[in-house]
């Protein structure tokens, strides 16, 4: 890819468009009262997804951009679980009785720091308060460095059927530069324990654009990962925002690759995974040919939500825990980010919603367009507009960004049908940004 194009459409500060509008548009105008009403309006016959944020880790990874707390003790985790159970009861009292659930995801942080017995009890409570489907996808994010045999057994007993392992890089030099030293053997052992106990759906998370990372080390990381044959891999670009994430200030900026180098690393990892038999899913995922994501993409029903790419066609997500984001029928809600404020609200028997966003019809149209671009790299804008009873002219009538993208050969546009050219898929976020009504910043 030409360096000039990369420099012009540099997407380091562009949203990842897992949701639209993005969190930057959330407001305190939408609070606990709105969330309560939206929960009560959820249809009793439509399944929802549940997301649980467990904000604890044993050590800090300098690249991390998520809300988390470092603890060497178990007592803060136990205190958090007590509050989380109260939140489940509070939400359960608002939604239709035994609301059906098709997906459960535990993220963090490190959810597997929860003691085995405590995790089992938490899943029992969920099944009492919600109608968790027998075929529900129940996924847990795992740090292989702290993963134990007892935890593996507990996950299987609780019905967990997908595990997402944080790897990032197998290069010791890169690991030291991000304060996450994790041996290949630790990762292999975690995979083996999970598979031995029947948790056979395995995801790996990898990152490019890290300090001291090279194309060669990225290829080696991808090759090592492939040898363990995970079903899916997510390959994310590191977003360096030290002004927002203080821990990232510990990273030496002089060791970070520039935009052309990042693009080369991403392409090298993608080529390695594709050569190993994986299919590229959307912007940053890869999956085996028989994986649900691959089948969803082939059928044109791939979705993108706050957790990334999904084969789940449900729109609604209920978030639990500090900073958790939910999407209900009327809009988005986010819990208090700070753990103490979150706990104070729940202990006072109030929902912990701190802010949110009420979706307009135009928001829904733009979100649908952006989702198709991020999933399929093409979109029929007039068709989506007509589905929503919306005039497509406002979207295509003043297309400064779109015209620029077309002029530079990034996209092809014909009668409102937009296709991102194969060689420029790395810039999909820049194309999606052409339909972001709230993005006031320049392209780079």
Closest Cα partner for 265 from 166, 168, 371?
168
* Residue 2: pLDDT band with limits 50, 70, 90: low
Question: What's the CA gap between 53 and 73, in Å, rounded?
Answer: 18
Q: How far is CA 307 from the centre of its chain?
A: 3
Please report the pLDDT score of residue 411 as a whole number: 94
Q: pLDDT: is 8 or 391 the higher one?
A: 391
The DSSP H or E segment spanning 319 is: strand 317-320
- Confirm or reject CATH 1.10.10.920 for domain 361-435, answering yes or no: yes
Give the pLDDT score at 393: 79
CA distances, 274 to each of 58, 88, 223, 271, 280 (Å): 34, 41, 11, 5, 7
For 75-106, what is each residue's pLDDT tens digit?
999 999 999 999 999 999 999 888 999 999 99
pLDDT band at 442 (very low <50, low <70, confident <90, very high): very low
Give yes or no for a contact between 253 and 224, defined as CB atoms under 8 angstroms apart: no
Closest CA to 138 of 110, 114, 124, 158: 158
> Residue 440 — very low, low, confident or very high, per pLDDT cuts 50/70/90?
low
Per the model's pLDDT, the better-predicted residue between 392 and 142 turns out to be 142
Looking at every residue in the chain, the average pLDDT score rounds to 93
pLDDT confidence bin for 12, thresholds 50/70/90: low
For residue 11, pLDDT beyond 70: no
Residue 266 CA to residue 36 CA, distance in Å, equals 42
Closest to 212 (Cα-Cα) out of 189, 179, 241, 245: 179
Q: Please name every residue paired with 203 in a beta bridge, in sequence order, or none if there are none.
A: 164, 232
Mean pLDDT of 267-273: 97
**Tens of pLDDT, residues 349-402:** 999 999 999 999 999 999 999 999 999 999 999 999 999 998 887 777 556 888
Mean pLDDT of 162-166: 97
- Residue 20: is its pLDDT beyond 50? yes
CA distance 138 to 155: 10
For residue 126, is pLDDT > 90?
Answer: yes
d(CA 266, CA 270): 6
Q: Percentage of the chain surpassing pLDDT 90?
A: 82
Check whether domain 22-341 has CATH 3.80.30.20, yes or no: yes
198: left (phi over 0), alpha (psi -120 to 50) or beta: left
Angstrom CA distances, 373 to 16, 190, 296, 381, 391, stand at 12, 35, 15, 10, 19
Q: For residues 294 and 98, which has the higher predicted lDDT (pLDDT)?
A: 294
Is the bond preceding residue 21 a cis peptide, omega within 30 degrees? yes
pTM: 0.93
Report whether pLDDT(1) > 70. Answer: no
74 vs 400 pLDDT, higher one: 74
| Domain extents in the chain | 22-341, 361-435
Query: Does pLDDT of 338 surpass 80?
Result: yes
Phi/psi at 179 (nearest 5 deg)? Answer: 60, 40
Evaluate the omega torsion of the peptide bond into residue 109 and state whether it is cis, within 30 degrees of 0.
Answer: yes
pLDDT of amino acid 306: 82
pLDDT at residue 176 is higher than 60? yes
Q: Report the range out of 68-72, 153-157, 428-432 with the highest average pLDDT.
A: 153-157
Q: What is the pLDDT of residue 9?
A: 72
| pLDDT tens sequence across 198-230 | 999 999 999 999 999 999 999 999 999 999 999
Band (pLDDT 50/70/90 cuts) for residue 312 is confident
CA distance 360 to 56: 35
């Amino acid at each position: 890819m030409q360096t000039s194009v990369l420099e012009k459409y540099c997407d380091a500060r562009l949203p990842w468009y897992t949701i639209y509008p993005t969190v930057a548009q959330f407001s305190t105008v939408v609070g606990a009262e709105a969330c309560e009403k939206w929960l009560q309006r959820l249809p009793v016959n439509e399944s929802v997804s549940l997301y649980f944020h467990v904000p604890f880790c044993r050590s800090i990874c300098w690249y991390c951009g998520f809300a988390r707390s470092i603890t060497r003790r178990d007592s803060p985790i136990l205190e958090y679980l007590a509050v989380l159970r109260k939140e489940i009861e509070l939400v359960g009292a608002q939604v239709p009785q035994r609301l059906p659930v098709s997906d459960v995801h535990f993220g963090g942080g490190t959810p597997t720091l929860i003691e085995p017995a405590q995790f089992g009890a938490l899943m029992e409570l969920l099944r009492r308060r919600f109608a968790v489907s027998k075929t529900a996808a129940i996924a847990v994010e795992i740090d292989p460095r702290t993963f134990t045999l007892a935890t593996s057994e507990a996950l299987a007993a609780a019905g967990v059927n997908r595990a997402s392992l944080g790897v990032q890089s197998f290069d010791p030099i890169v690991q030291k530069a991000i304060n996450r030293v994790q041996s290949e053997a630790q990762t292999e052992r975690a995979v083996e324990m999970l598979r031995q106990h029947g948790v056979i759906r395995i995801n790996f998370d990898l990152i490019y654009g890290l300090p001291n990372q090279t194309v060669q080390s990225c290829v080696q990381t991808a090759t090592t990962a492939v040898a363990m044959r995970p079903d899916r891999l997510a390959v994310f670009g590191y977003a360096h925002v030290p002004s927002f994430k203080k821990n990232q200030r510990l990273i030496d900026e002089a060791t970070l690759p520039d935009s052309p180098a990042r693009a080369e690393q991403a392409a090298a990892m993608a080529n390695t995974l594709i050569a190993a038999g994986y299919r590229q899913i959307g912007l940053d995922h890869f999956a085996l040919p028989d994986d649900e994501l691959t089948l969803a993409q082939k059928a044109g029903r791939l979705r993108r939500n706050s957790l990334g790419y999904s084969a789940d066609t449900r729109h609604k997500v209920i978030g639990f825990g500090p900073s958790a984001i939910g999407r209900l029928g009327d809009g988005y809600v986010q819990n208090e980010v700070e753990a103490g404020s979150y706990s104070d609200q729940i202990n006072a028997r109030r929902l912990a919603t701190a802010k949110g966003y009420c979706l307009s019809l135009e928001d829904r149209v733009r979100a649908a367009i952006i989702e198709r671009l991020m999933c399929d790299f093409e979109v029929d804008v007039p068709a989506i507009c007509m589905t929503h009873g919306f005039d497509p002219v406002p979207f295509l009538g003043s297309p400064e960004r779109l015209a620029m993208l077309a002029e530079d050969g990034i996209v092809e546009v014909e009668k409102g049908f937009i296709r991102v050219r194969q060689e420029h898929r790395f810039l999909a976020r820049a194309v999606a940004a052409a339909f972001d009504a709230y993005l006031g910043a320049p392209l780079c």
